[in-house]
Amino acid sequence: MEVLHPGAGHGARVELPCLRTQTLGPAPATEFPCDANRRCSRSRSEPGHRRNLVSCGFARSVAFAVAEVIGGVLNTHTNRSLTGTTRSQSGPLLRIPRFLIGRLYLLAAILAVDCAFIAAIPHAAPLLGPVAPSGIVALAVFFGLGYFRLKAQHEYIQFRSRLFYAHLLCITIVFFVNLFAHRNPDARLNSLPALLLSGSLLLAAIVLLALACFPFSVWIKTARDTSPIWQYSALAGVAAWFLRYPFQLLWIHSSSPNVYLLQGFTFRCVQAVLAFLLPNLVVDAGPFVIGTPRFSVSVGAPCSGIEGLGLVLVFTIVWLWFFRRENRFPQALLLIPCALACAFLLNVARISALILIGNAGAPDVAFVGFHSQAGWIAFTLVALTFSMATQRLSWVRKPISTPTLAHSPLSAPFQLAAAQIQEPARLAGESPATPAYLIPFLAILGASFISKSASGYFEWLYPLRFIAAAVALWLFRRHYRNLNWRCDWLAPLTGVAIFLLWIAPGLFLHQPQSSPLGAALAALSPAARYSWIALRVAAAVFTVPLAEELAFRGYLARRIMAREFHQVSFTRLSLLAIALSSLAFGLLHGQNWLLGIVAGLAFSVVLRRRGRIGDAVVAHAVSNLLLAVWVLSRGAWGLW
């Protein structure tokens, strides 16, 4: 979307007063105090008690919905295939998946990391641009059609470490060759022979990785066992290759509203909405310009909502595929057009609200903040609503048989409290400890959506993130008592190392990150400026390390290994769990994703060393504190 106005700018047992989850292995039971314990002295008929029970219901449902998305991919059966062990077993850090399906997942994960590593250098784009989409499509089709055949293979497969090291060497050479060529445009490394050599090394790296994960004989056997699925996958990849250019033409701007029906329909819907709200509405159907004399926008093809509809379509299909055994068909399929209709209506509302905000005198907020965040907010709302609908609607969700409490010696009020606490977990099939680990991080994400949407180049509502996380952590404070919050000397030392790594690009590579934050803070009054900085530092040092470590190391890393993640000791985290959770943690940091992955790995290592989450939190907090001191003392606002 383009701003045209010149001023717009840039088996569990229930025991109350607490829930006790009995482990199947030698690990001791873990207690999770429930709200009923804290309010035993209050009458169950009092309005305050009923209100407090309902107040956390939505937050718990959202947490379990997010957990079910993760759990759909990391279900218990898949985890057994990945590790080749039973649920009660915990392997060493360097355990490699032994069976076919797990090894294929590992191969795909390493290829994804390689692609991201190479694509970080702009010069390397020709090496991956034409190949990556075809490979992704082919691999997705192969996994989708051949999942059950691949999962049925339980023969031990040897991993060849030497070939893997050779693969890493080739990838490293390609990376540094392209880095040097990018920094020296006149060098010979930018010639066609050098590009062909880089492409050959990249192809050799892929072949070495494939042979490291699977011997050649296993590839031949897998091809025979999965025929004709692999042929269909190859055809899908070839089709993706040839369809790239025609689909790219859909994004080329056209002056005719008849070329893109969705773009024209979106434009007319926005016009119909704004006609009731703006008497001086200006409409030019040729270039799809709509707005007022003060602020107008051009509704381009991407703003038609095609990206949001595509994301929603993929999410709903993947969701129903993973939970096909829990849902009724074809009833569940009716939710897909409902989700698409909601996504389209929210996109119309997004464009209309953007024009209203800009016309009200806040063009920077409209274009910089609201425009960039409203689309993700809409997708998040549709995804959460869809996932909760599949859990709650009886005509979609299959009935789940659960043990009854009819013969329990507990009194009726205690049975009601236990049922209310266990119901979200029963529906999601997740551990009852899930909300305590996810809700603080989800609170930060939700607050960031709000604060960025209401901001321009300066996020003046950033303190909302600190408040939201602090409230969530306070509400679940009883759940964290059994965690080990102690630390030793290695934790702050790791924090110092991560801080030095984070500022290294600006010091040694001369890549300072510019930001308008300093000028925006200077324009504030002293009281407002110091208050904003104080809450920004408090969030970086206290709430952010706690929330992120609970979510990524406390929940995600252990959830990869077992559904009952709270029973997994931190000292038993596997290499795969650490790698995937660190990858997710790194992607959260945007353009600093590579540094984020390294930081996630470091925090995971100090956590696994003694099994104390306090080590990871202290390391995270120290790195953020030193970074805050660096930013404030050097004026390096781009690091914030």
- List pLDDT tens digits, range 458-513: 788 889 999 999 999 999 999 999 899 999 999 999 999 999 999 888 776 655 56
Kindly tell me the sign of the dihedral angle through the C-alpha atoms of 416, 417, 418, 423.
positive
When pLDDT is averaged across residues 259-263 and rounded to a whole number, the result is 68
Residue 271 has, within 13 A of its CA and on its CB side, a CA count of 15
How large is the angle between the packed helices 57-73 and 306-322, nearest 10 degrees?
A: 80
For residue 40, pLDDT beyond 90: no
Instruction: Give 359-373 pLDDT, tens digit per residue.
Output: 888 787 777 767 767
pTM strictly above 0.95 = no
pLDDT confidence tier of residue 85, bands split at 50, 70 and 90: very low
What is the domain range of residue 151?
Answer: 100-249
Q: What is the mean pLDDT of the chain?
A: 76
Tell me what pLDDT residue 120 has: 67
Tell me what pLDDT residue 536 has: 94
Give the contacts of 129 (CB within 8 A, at least 6 positions apart).
none
pLDDT confidence tier of residue 601, bands split at 50, 70 and 90: very high
Q: Is residue 533 part of a domain?
A: no
Tell me what pLDDT residue 610 has: 92
Q: Is residue 548 part of a domain?
A: no
Q: Is residue 307 part of a domain?
A: no
Tell me what pLDDT residue 557 has: 92
Percent of the chain with pLDDT over 70: 72
For residue 426, pLDDT beyond 60: no
Give me the sheet containing 30-33, strands edge to edge: 13-15, 18-21, 30-33
**Which residue pairs from 106-111 have beta carbons closer than 8 angstroms and sit at least 24 positions apart in sequence?**
106/213, 106/576, 107/209, 107/210, 107/213, 107/214, 108/139, 108/143, 109/579, 109/580, 109/583, 110/209, 111/135, 111/206, 111/209
Q: Give CA–CA dist 124/342, Å, rounded.
A: 39
Q: Is residue 625 part of a domain?
A: no
For residue 81, pLDDT beyond 90: no
Q: Is residue 150 part of a domain?
A: yes
Tell me what pLDDT residue 70 has: 60
Tell me what pLDDT residue 181 has: 77
More confident residue, 8 or 210: 210
> For 8-12, 320-324, 566-570, 586-590, which range has the lowest pLDDT when averaged over its residues?
8-12
Cα angle value 490/494/495 (rounded, 5°): 120
Tell me what pLDDT residue 371 has: 75
Work out how many domains the chain is built from and give that number: 1
Q: Is residue 31 part of a domain?
A: no
Instruction: Give 580-592 pLDDT, tens digit per residue.
Output: 899 889 888 878 8
Q: Is residue 107 part of a domain?
A: yes
129: left (phi over 0), alpha (psi -120 to 50) or beta: alpha
For residue 608, pLDDT beyond 80: yes
Q: Is 99 exposed, middle or buried (0-12, 13-18, 19+ CB in 10 A)?
A: buried
Q: Is residue 160 part of a domain?
A: yes
For residue 176, pLDDT beyond 60: yes
Please state the φ and ψ torsions of residue 18, each to the nearest 5 degrees: -140, 160
